Amino acid sequence: MLIAQLGHITEIAATDWLKPNPRSPDRADSAAWIGEVLDEPHTRELLDTLLGAVRGAARRHGSQRRLNALGKGPN
């Protein structure tokens, strides 16, 4: 799923570069967006790092919600 989503983001950036539009009126913005993919390809290691960061953030957020529900979170 992550690979598909990143592919769609890259496709949107490439389309915006080919035909600038209100979302991305300057080709430089689109080129920078595409450059993120070309400069740092989606290797297995990079994807694992991204997923790990998301999992960690989700765990921290879930723990905080549980503490708040118990009335033990920050006031």
pLDDT at 6: 87
pLDDT at 27: 92
pLDDT at 70: 63
pLDDT at 49: 92
Q: Please tell me the distance from the alpha carbon of residue 5 to that of residue 7, in angstroms, as a whole number.
A: 5
Check if the beta carbon of residue 50 is closer than 8 Å to that of residue 2.
yes
Kindly give the parts of the chain with pLDDT less than 70. 62-75
**Exposed e or buried b for every residue in 28-62, given b needs 16+ CB within 10 A?**
eebeebbeeeeeeeeeeeeeeeeeeeeeeeeeeee
